């Protein structure tokens, strides 16, 4: 069964450092999402891509966060510099034309 | 803006007990409604969905009915198993939204004891 892949699964970094997460969606899924899930809360959408274009990044803190999906396939989410409040689970999801979203296992980030 | 409110957990049950998780929403028009489940160490999985008023979504013994009059989408299961222990999220996709822009509730942790 096809799955959304994410790496790394866990990341510990010091504040002010740069950190990057990678996501490989299910083959053929044009829509890709990045969510942030703070412990004990529901996921919040950070950015949505349709192919290589950003559809919605209204909740992305653009002063420190960036996301790209250069070839419309895999995607990278970067934080620079990381802050203590960025500690969270970062989830990637993909879907076919706005249908059901399939989630990856997530990257758990701890900023010290 | 749109929002989803779920009952707080944890909910602790014995095996074969009846499970209800309350979910209410605030949104304009007729959003699509979803329940997702997150097992320990895993990503979210779609459990069931309903796209219009009075629709009933069902899967793996779980059910939820879209109630427009009470803006609710409560999740129920008649006889839970230990394997149902997980965190359950209610979510909505706004009416007329381009693409699938999900707004999630805070999640409800369910623990089923043997």
The closest CB to that of A43, out of B49, B100, B104, belongs to: B104
Residue-level pLDDT at B42: 82
Nearest residue in A to B90, CA atom? A42
Residue-level pLDDT at B99: 62
Interchain CB contact of A25 with B (< 8 Å): no
- pLDDT > 80? residue A33: yes
Judge whether B81 and B14 are in contact, CB under 8 Å.
no
Give whole-number Cα distances, A29 to A4, A33, B104, B111, in Å. Answer: 10, 11, 22, 34
The burial of B16, by beta-carbon neighbours within 10 Å (0-12 exposed, 13-18 middle, 19 or more buried), is given as exposed
Structure tokens at B17: 């007990």
Tell me the percentage of chain A whose pLDDT exceeds 70. Answer: 98
- pLDDT > 80? residue B98: no
Tell me the percentage of chain B whose pLDDT exceeds 70. Answer: 96
Tell me the percentage of chain B whose pLDDT exceeds 90. Answer: 78
The closest CB to that of A101, out of B41, B98, B100, belongs to: B100
Cβ–Cβ below 8 Å for A98 and B100: yes
Report the pLDDT averaged over residues B109-114.
96
Residue range A48-78, pLDDT digits in tens: 999 999 999 999 999 999 999 988 899 999 9
At B93, which helix (H) or strand (E)?
strand B86-93
Residue range B24-71, pLDDT digits in tens: 999 988 899 999 999 987 889 999 999 999 999 999 999 999 999 999
Structure tokens at B2: 């749109």
């Amino acid at each position: 069964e096809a799955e959304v892949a994410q790496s790394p699964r866990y990341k510990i970094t010091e504040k002010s450092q740069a950190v990057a997460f990678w996501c490989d969606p299910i083959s053929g899924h044009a829509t890709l999402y990045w969510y942030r899930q703070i412990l004990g809360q529901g996921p919040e959408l950070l950015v949505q891509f349709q192919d290589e274009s950003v559809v919605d990044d209204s909740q992305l803190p653009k002063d420190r966060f960036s996301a790209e999906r250069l070839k419309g396939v895999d995607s990278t989410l970067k934080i620079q510099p990381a802050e203590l409040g960025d500690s969270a689970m970062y989830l990637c999801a993909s879907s076919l034309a706005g249908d059901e979203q399939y989630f990856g296992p997530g990257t758990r980030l701890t900023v010290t | 803006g749109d929002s989803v409110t779920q009952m707080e957990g944890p909910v602790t049950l014995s095996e074969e007990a009846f499970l209800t998780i309350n979910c209410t929403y605030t949104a304009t028009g007729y959003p699509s409604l979803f329940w997702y489940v997150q097992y320990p160490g895993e990503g979210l999985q779609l459990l069931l969905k309903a796209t219009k008023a009075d629709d009933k979504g069902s899967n793996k013994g779980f059910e939820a009915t879209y109630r427009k009059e009470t803006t609710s989408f409560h999740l129920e299961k008649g006889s839970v198993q230990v394997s149902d222990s997980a965190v359950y999220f209610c979510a909505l996709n706004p009416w007329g939204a381009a693409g699938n822009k999900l707004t999630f509730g805070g999640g409800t942790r369910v623990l089923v004891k043997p």
